[in-house]
Amino acid sequence: GEDVEQSLFLSVREGDSSVINCTYTDSSSTYLYWYKQEPGAGLQLLTYIFSNMDMKQDQRLTVLLNKKDKHLSLRIADTQTGDSAIYFCAEKGDSGAGSYQLTFGKGTKLSVIP
Amino acid sequence: SAVISQKPSRDICQRGTSLTIQCQVDSQVTMMFWYRQQPGQSLTLIATANQGSEATYESGFVIDKFPISRPNLTFSTLTVSNMSPEDSSIYLCSVQGSGPEAFFGQGTRLTVV
């Protein structure tokens, strides 16, 4: 089946930029997503990018997509302690009946050091 | 964005019993899904809840264990039947409309003792 890989942990100092990386295997991915999960909470959709785009910026968040290498990254500028959470990368394929299904990575736990 | 209300938010259940989780959306949505997130793990799709017909289950999940209802375009239930400690997980409802966004409920934290 399709696979999404992320590093498990990232630690940054408050005020620095955070970069969370993700790789995926599905060459027919249509959309790629970043979700944030705070302790005890559900998943919050942060942003998503269409597969024919290479960059999307939304306030402190910048998503970069390298479709050739199947590599997605999420950059958080001026990281704050409130950004401490688990970040999930997910992709939506284009496989007919299964085209609505999202495949998730294992999540990257971001720790922000004050 | 869709507002999703999932109930209960958490529960502690005895093994051998069943728990029904409800998912209510504030607008009609095309697709509703149920996911499981085991402790420290990623999300695994259990099934797609189809309005007016039987749910579509993923490999490893069966209707007898996880019966699902979807009577209309804004509501679905997932039942975890004959529970064992291995069923202790977070269960999440997800919805997608006509656009690419996929939204999630707050999850139900289930502990089976």
Q: Please, which pLDDT band fits residue A100 given cuts at 50, 70 and 90?
A: confident
Residue A99 has a pLDDT of: 58
Nearest partner of A25 among A75, A89, A74, judged by Cα: A89
d(CA A52, CA B60): 33
pLDDT at A98 over 70: no
Q: Does A106 touch chain B if contact means CB atoms closer than 8 Å?
A: yes
**Interface mutation target, options A4, A5, A43, chain B, most CBs of B under 10 Å:** A43
* Nearest neighbour of B101 by CB, restricted to A30, A40, A45: A45
Which residues fall within 8 angstroms of residue A96, CB to CB, at 6 or more apart? none
In this prediction, residue B44 carries a pLDDT of 93
Average pLDDT, chain B: 94
Cβ-Cβ contacts under 8 Å for B58 (sequence gap 6 or more): B44, B45, B46, B47
Angstroms from A84 CA to nearest CA on chain B: 16
Which letter, b or e, does each residue of B98-111 get, where b requires 16 or more Cβ atoms within 10 Å of its Cβ? eeeebbbbbbbbbe
Weakest-pLDDT range from A7-11, A56-60, A96-100, B31-35: A96-100
The CA distance from A97 to B92, in Å, is 21
Mean pLDDT of A31-44: 93
Nearest CB among B1, B31, B42 relative to A104 is that of B42
- CB distance A100–B106 less than 8 Å? no
Weakest-pLDDT range from A7-11, A13-17, A68-72, B96-100: B96-100
| Residue with the larger pLDDT of the pair A26 and B94 | B94
> Between β-strands A108-113 and A9-13, what pairing exists: parallel, antiparallel or unpaired?
parallel
pLDDT of A96 above 80 = no
User: Is the pLDDT score of A95 beyond 70?
Assistant: no
| Range with lowest mean pLDDT among A59-63, A69-73, A101-105, B33-37 | A101-105
The mean pLDDT value for A84-94 works out to: 92
DSSP calls for A45-66 = EEEEEETT-SEEEETTEEEEEE
Q: Are the beta carbons of A43 and B100 separated by less than 8 Å? A: no
Chain A residues touching residue B109 (CB < 8 angstroms): 40
Residue A61: predicted pLDDT: 97
Cβ separation A31–B100 shorter than 8 A: yes
- Binary contact (B100, A50; C-beta < 8 A): yes
Largest CA distance in chain B: 40
Asked if pLDDT for residue B58 goes beyond 70, the answer is yes
pLDDT at A39: 87
Chain A residue whose CA is closest to B10: A40
- A92 at interface of B, judged by CB pairs closer than 8 A: yes
User: How far apart are the CA of A99 and the nearest CA of chain B, in angstroms?
Assistant: 11
